A and B are shown apart, each in its own frame.
Chain A
Amino acid sequence: MKEFELEPGEHVVLEVRKHWFLFLAELLPYAIMAVAPFALPGIFSYAPPLAPYAAFLDFSTPLARAALGVWLLVVWTGAWGAFTKYFLNAWVLTSQRIVNIKQHRFFSRSVSSLFLSRIQDVTTDVHGILSSLLGIGTIKAQTAAEDVQFVMAGIPRPEMMRDLILKYVPEDDSPPPAGV
Chain B
Amino acid sequence: MSDEPLQPFSPPTSLAGLLPEGVSAGVLVEWALYIVFAFWAIFTIIAIYHWLKYSHASWVAFPAIGVHLFVSITLMAYALSGVIIVSL
Asked whether A69 lies within 8 Å of B76 as measured between CB atoms, the reply is yes
What 0/1 readout, one digit per residue, does chain B (51-84) give for beta carbons within 8 Å of chain A?
A: 1011111101000100010011001101111110
Asked whether A68 lies within 8 Å of B79 as measured between CB atoms, the reply is yes
Chain B residues bordering chain A, tally (CB within 8 A): 35
Asked whether A52 lies within 8 Å of B8 as measured between CB atoms, the reply is yes
B18 within 8 A of A: no
Asked whether A106 lies within 8 Å of B50 as measured between CB atoms, the reply is yes
The A65-119 residues at the B interface (CB cut-off 8 A) are 65-70, 72-74, 76-77, 80-81, 83-84, 87-88, 101, 103, 106-107, 109
Which listed residue, B40, B44, B50, B82, touches A66 by the CB 8 Å rule?
B82
Asked whether A84 lies within 8 Å of B33 as measured between CB atoms, the reply is no
A53 to B5, CA, bound (A): 12
Asked whether A1 lies within 8 Å of B46 as measured between CB atoms, the reply is no
Asked whether A73 lies within 8 Å of B36 as measured between CB atoms, the reply is yes
Distance in Å from the Cβ of A83 to the closest Cβ of chain B? 7
Asked whether B51 lies within 8 Å of A84 as measured between CB atoms, the reply is yes
Contact A87:B64 (CB < 8 A) given known A55-B8, A61-B82, A66-B82: yes
Asked whether A77 lies within 8 Å of B54 as measured between CB atoms, the reply is no
Q: Which residue of A lies closest to B69 (CB)?
A: A80
B23 within 8 A of A: no
A35 to B47, CA, bound (A): 25
Residues of A contacting B55 with CB < 8 Å?
A: 87-88
A46 within 8 A of B: no
Which listed residue, A1, A74, A83, touches B64 by the CB 8 Å rule?
A83
Q: Which residue of A lies closest to B57 (CB)?
A: A1
Asked whether B79 lies within 8 Å of A69 as measured between CB atoms, the reply is yes
A73 to B74, CA, bound (A): 9
Residues of A contacting B82 with CB < 8 Å?
A: 61-66, 69
A positions within 8 Å CB-CB of B: 1-3, 48-50, 52-53, 55-56, 61-70, 72-74, 76-77, 80-81, 83-84, 87-88, 101, 103, 106-107, 109
The 8 sampled A-B contact pairs (Cβ below 8 Å) are: A2-B54, A3-B54, A62-B85, A65-B78, A67-B79, A77-B43, A84-B51, A88-B50
Q: A1-B57, A2-B57, A83-B64 are in contact. List 9 more A-B contacts (CB 8 A).
A: A52-B8, A56-B8, A62-B86, A66-B33, A69-B79, A76-B71, A80-B68, A88-B51, A88-B54
B positions within 8 Å CB-CB of A: 5-8, 29, 33, 36, 40, 43-44, 46-47, 50-51, 53-58, 60, 64, 68, 71-72, 75-76, 78-83, 85-86
